[in-house]
């Protein structure tokens, strides 16, 4: 063990120590924020295991309604409102893993009726 310590001591004594070179990192300058930053109008559609669908926390059609008229008309109004402001409408579907897959398809059909094309899925709670 002492042999190893002695070898390390000799190694580091004869190791030429080099100065660290200046890397030349340039920090970003203070720039003003963009004036016209347009964020999409994002709406969260939650699907629960019992088939209940919430749009931004508000319950929509009944759990056995496949046409989902209330959801599609609400999404249409939201899209029209976003279009008037010049924003994109984005719908994020958060389906519980135990929810019926048919309800996710029904939600996608409601988005299609409202002519919303920017739809994504995300994990529940994320």
Domain ranges of the chain: 41-121
State pTM to two decimals: 0.65
Of 101, 56, 51, nearest to 74 by C-alpha is: 56
The pLDDT tens digits along the chain (126 residues) read 888 888 888 777 776 655 555 667 777 777 776 666 565 678 999 999 998 999 988 898 888 888 888 999 999 998 898 888 888 889 999 999 898 889 999 999 999 999 998 999 887 755
CATH of domain 41-121: 3.30.420.270
């Amino acid at each position: 063990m002492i042999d190893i310590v002695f070898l390390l001591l000799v190694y580091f004594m004869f190791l030429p120590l080099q100065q660290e070179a200046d890397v030349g990192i340039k920090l970003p300058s203070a720039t003003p924020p963009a004036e016209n930053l347009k964020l999409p109008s994002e709406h969260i559609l939650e699907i629960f295991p019992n088939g209940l669908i919430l749009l931004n926390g508000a319950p929509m059609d009944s759990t056995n309604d496949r046409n989902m008229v209330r959801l599609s008309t609400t999404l249409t109004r939201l899209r029209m409102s976003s279009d008037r402001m010049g924003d994109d409408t984005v719908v994020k579907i958060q389906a519980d893993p135990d929810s019926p897959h048919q309800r996710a398809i029904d939600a996608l059909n409601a988005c299609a009726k409202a002519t919303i094309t920017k739809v994504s899925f995300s994990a529940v709670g994320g």
